Structure 1
Amino acid sequence: METQELHRGRLIDHVQLVVRNLAASQAFYAAAFKALNVPMGGATAEYFWADELFVSTADSVAAQGHLTGRVHLAFQAQDRNMVHAFYEAALAHGGQDNGAPGERPYHPGYYAAFVLDPDGNNIEAVFHGEAKRSAPSVEITF
């Protein structure tokens, strides 16, 4: 078996979105993640994943349900330029504006952009300002 590596320890273990058009969603998220420097993990005819996000068709065994309503996901950006790159990439690949890059009142230094993905989910990229992390993530190899 090929060694696989996971990164954990950032509050959310994983999120799964069930989407109408997997190809449209894959194009959208591939572009958004490229802008955020997050590698795509893998893909099949029923799903794809990156880090803690899994996106599947309603027919996927992993979906166990129906298409859901609007979801809000926020991805971490390393700086303000990355927030802008995410926003532009998302718009160029099927996303719709839901809040251009800029400061938000949530806390000092909160800089974010919001787009709607092809299924109407509210997707955000946020830079929380300069901060020191103890580690980028916890690495799990198996």
Structure 2
Amino acid sequence: METQSLHRGRLIDHIQLVVRDLPASQRFYEAVFAALDIPISGTGPDFFWADELFVSSADSQAAHGHLTGRHHLAFQARDEAMVQAFYQATLAAGGTDNGGPGERPYHPGYYAAFVIDPDGNNIEAVYHGPARRSADSVVVEFDE
């Protein structure tokens, strides 16, 4: 019997959003990706994608005619300036304010901005602050 190997890397392989108005969503997410320096990977008549985010219309083959519900997606930003650029670009592209750029209480250095996309999804850009090593961090090594 052949076994399957499991790749351990990222937690999420990909996410699909099914949207009401694909052109409006494409304008919005192109602004998100431009601000975060993420290239659009591909487009078609009823979809587009970038990295692990796939966005399609309800009539696309993968959607089976159903819209996805409301989601919260958080994109990593390189620095606070990138979070601010994300916020401004998404508002200009049809997003709605859901919390302007600023530090949040989630952990020290958590700097984020939140907007609502054209389909009601809560979209965030977050910068986790400069790399720091916690006094509580532990490195575990395994012998093979």
TM-score, structure 2 normalization: 0.83
Helix, strand or coil for the counterpart of 1:26?
A: helix
Corresponding residue of 1:124 = 124
Moved over 3 A (4+): none
Which residue identity does 1:116 align to in structure 2? I
Displacement of 1:65: 4.9
Corresponding residue of 2:17 = 17
Q: Output the CA distance in 2 between the equivalents of 1:103 and 1:30.
A: 25
Displacement of 1:64: 3.0
Ranges in structure 2 where 5+ consecutive residues have no aligned partner: 1-7, 133-144
Displacement of 1:10: 3.3
Corresponding residue of 1:33 = 33
Corresponding residue of 1:63 = 63
Ranges in structure 1 where 5+ consecutive residues have no aligned partner: 1-7, 133-142
Cα offsets for 1:121-140 (capped at 9, x unmatched): 000000011127xxxxxxxx
Corresponding residue of 1:86 = 86
Alpha carbon RMSD of aligned pairs, Å? 1.4
Which residue identity does 2:32 align to in structure 1? A
Structure exhibiting the larger radius of gyration computed from Cα positions: 2
Q: Output the CA distance in 2 between the equivalents of 1:83 and 1:68.
A: 26
Cα offsets for 1:32-67 (capped at 9, x unmatched): 110000000110111000000000001111113511
Which residue identity does 2:63 align to in structure 1? A
Q: Output the CA distance in 1 between the equivalents of 2:124 and 2:110.
A: 12
Helix, strand or coil for the counterpart of 1:113?
A: strand
TM-score, structure 1 normalization: 0.84
Q: Aligned residues, how many?
A: 125
Cα offsets for 1:69-92 (capped at 9, x unmatched): 211000000000000000000000
